[in-house]
Chain A
Amino acid sequence: GAVVSQHPSRVICKSGTSVKIECRSLDFQATTMFWYRQFPKQSLMLMATSNEGSKATYEQGVEKDKFLINHASLTLSTLTVTSAHPEDSSFYICSARDLTREGYGYTFGSGTRLTVV
């Protein structure tokens, strides 16, 4: 149980275009999801907390106009990288927690490798 599905796993886009990444909780409802960014050989950096039905909460230094988050349902959160540039190339991972299973921790998606050319 507590499976999080993330798509796409890899995406290559041209500089200036936008890319949407989806994060779905498959067997539970997630009122809150988290989006992370990971640079090569570094740990995960929390970008924002996605809240169902309300605005996302962004961490300090993360541009909310560049990284648009939409959490329109209890099972889906999307991260859109707008006007992507090569420096946005990174590994993006989402996570969620099944609140009905208090003894369980966070479950992570398989990640999305974004390459901007």
Chain B
Amino acid sequence: KQEVTQIPAALSVPEGENLVLNCSFTDSAIYNLQWFRQDPGKGLTSLLLIQSSQREQTSGRLNASLDKSSGRSTLYIAASQPGDSATYLCAVRGIQGAQKLVFGQGTRLTINP
């Protein structure tokens, strides 16, 4: 059974800092990994999608890496801004069956002005 873990559970940093969020998964047989952002009381916004054959994806100040063999992914946020404050979730999509997403518990990020 796939398990996804995100560390840390919460992170508070001053504005302007670069930061890294971590995601690990137990079963390397994945189709892809997706990073989402969730604002309080809102749905999920997809940030980056990394296919199993890829090593990283970049979008603006965000860079996500994937090391499938070790079961790890990181989300790097450069020059953080208060608007980046949200909960960040990673999810892996399996290659079997309905290809469901399995989510981590999320990292609650606060960027202090």
Residue of chain A at shortest CB distance from B41: A113
Residue of chain B at shortest CB distance from A4: B43
Residue of chain A at shortest CB distance from B49: A105
A103 part of interface (Cβ distance < 8 Å): yes
B74 part of interface (Cβ distance < 8 Å): no
Contacting pair B98 A110 (CB below 8 A): no
- Give B108 Cβ to nearest chain A Cβ, in Å: 8
SS class, residues of chain B in contact with chain A: strand
The contact string, 1 if C-beta is below 8 Å from chain B, for chain A 50-65, is: 0000000100000000
Also in contact, A44 and B103, with CB within 8 A (given A91-B41, A113-B41): yes
Q: In the complex, which of the residues B43, B51, B98, B108 contacts A108, with contact meaning CB atoms closer than 8 Å?
A: B43
Contacting pair A105 B103 (CB below 8 A): no
Distance, CA A104 to CA B34, complexed state (A):
10
The contact string, 1 if C-beta is below 8 Å from chain A, for chain B 43-60, is: 111100101000000000
Contacting pair B89 A93 (CB below 8 A): no
B36 part of interface (Cβ distance < 8 Å): yes
Which residues does chain B contribute within 8 Å of A93, judged by CB atoms? 43-44
- Give A71 Cβ to nearest chain B Cβ, in Å: 13
Contacting pair B46 A49 (CB below 8 A): no
Which residues does chain B contribute within 8 Å of A95, judged by CB atoms? 44, 101
Also in contact, A43 and B105, with CB within 8 A (given A106-B34, A108-B36): yes
Residues from 26 to 76 in A contacting B, C-beta threshold 8 Å: 32, 34, 41-44, 46, 49, 57
What are 29 of the A-B contact pairs (CB < 8 Å)?
A6-B43, A32-B98, A34-B101, A43-B104, A43-B105, A43-B106, A44-B103, A46-B100, A46-B101, A49-B98, A93-B44, A95-B44, A95-B101, A103-B51, A104-B49, A105-B34, A105-B49, A106-B34, A106-B91, A106-B93, A106-B101, A108-B36, A108-B43, A108-B44, A108-B46, A110-B42, A110-B43, A111-B42, A111-B43
Ranked nearest first, the 3 interchain pairs of A and B with the lowest CB-CB distance are A108-B44, A110-B43, A105-B49
* Given A44-B44, A106-B34, 6 more pairs with CB closer than 8 A: A6-B43, A43-B103, A93-B44, A105-B49, A108-B36, A111-B42
